[in-house]
Structure 1
Amino acid sequence: MYGNDGFRELQRQECLRLLATAQVGRIVHTRHALPAVLPVNFALDGDGAVLLRTSADSELVRAVDGAVVAFEADEVDTAAHSGWSVVVTGRASVVTDPADRRRLARSGPSSWVSSPREVFVRIDPELVTGRELAGGLSLYGLDSFF
């Protein structure tokens, strides 16, 4: 990723293991031809795909369905100067298969703001990267973590 900056690059399985411990992340997409970032709760599917549950009428669904997006989650301990960040990049799509929708209604992420018509958005994990800083400042300080 970024050589000699004091961080350890994480392997894909490490990234997915850490990502599964987070409850909130950020989806990065394009809105009116500009980058947009939105915090969301999420869950991981068995293959490492990121799952979101949102209103079928939301602007987010219209913006990301069929688009390549990034999703980031992290955990930082400012007192211990440690933490990690994982980014999943891939194509987002609304889950349309009835069997998948039923399965996700039971096991997928819950909605923090319920809506009469909810959908699941799936981000396929085409690229999974991560970095970890374990106990100590990097050469450039914790601010370079982000």
Structure 2
Amino acid sequence: MTYHHDQPPDADDTRRLQELPPAEALRLLAGVPFGRIVFTRQALPAIRPVNHVVVDGHIVIRSDPGTILGVQVARAETVVAYEADELDGHERLGWSVIVTGVARAVTDPGEAARLKALLRPWVAGGMEQVIRIRPEITTGFRLLPAAGAPERTEADLRG
């Protein structure tokens, strides 16, 4: 069966959203290597894709000190959102997690070195600044088959 994004789903293709407990949502977020950080730039929302790790319940990313993330987010201790997901567009299954919290530059040299060793940036450059996001609100949802349809496991989503 071929799906097109502009076609309405068949009755057996309908899905339901299941809200996830915060601990499970953070566990899923820790299982993927990248997401999107959302912050305010000139009073408007801005989004940047970044790779991350989750350490001690915090989301850790790296940046260069002179970039927008380094200047407007880390130095200002800005409220941000962080989103990651794993969605299967063909099967219409998956999950999405959104964390809201405060982003802060890690200023302790020993802690920054420890976190740098855990996260290798995907982008070329120094990426010498470590930014930690402490979750204040964690929201997650799993997209599942509607009632009556066979449930798929996380292993099924990964192939």
Normalised TM-score (structure 1): 0.83
Among 76, 83, 87, the alignment partner of 1:72 is 83
Any stretches of 5+ residues in structure 2 without a counterpart? 1-14, 148-159
Structure 1: which 5+ residue stretches go unaligned? 138-146
What amino acid sits opposite 1:123 in the alignment? I
Larger C-alpha radius of gyration, 1 or 2? 2
Matches within 5 A, 1:5-84: 6-46=16-56, 48-65=57-74, 66-84=77-95
**SS state at 1:110 partner:** coil
Identify the match of residue 113 of structure 1 among 123, 128, 134.
Answer: 123
- Would the aligned equivalents of 2:98 and 2:139 in 1 still touch at CA under 8 Å? yes
Residue in structure 2 matched with residue 99 of structure 1 by the alignment: 110
CA distance in 2, matches of 1:61, 1:74: 24
What amino acid maps onto 1:103 in structure 2?
R
State percent identity of aligned pairs: 44
State the Cα RMSD in Å.
Answer: 1.7
Q: TM-score, normalised by structure 2?
A: 0.77
* Distance (Å, rounded) in 2 between the aligned partners of 1:102 and 1:72: 25
**1:123 corresponds to 2:123:** no
Distance 1:117 1:73, change over 3 A: closer
Letter in 1 for 2:41: R
Q: Per-residue deviation at 1:136?
A: 5.0
Alignment length, in residue pairs? 131
Counterpart of 1:133 in structure 2 is 143
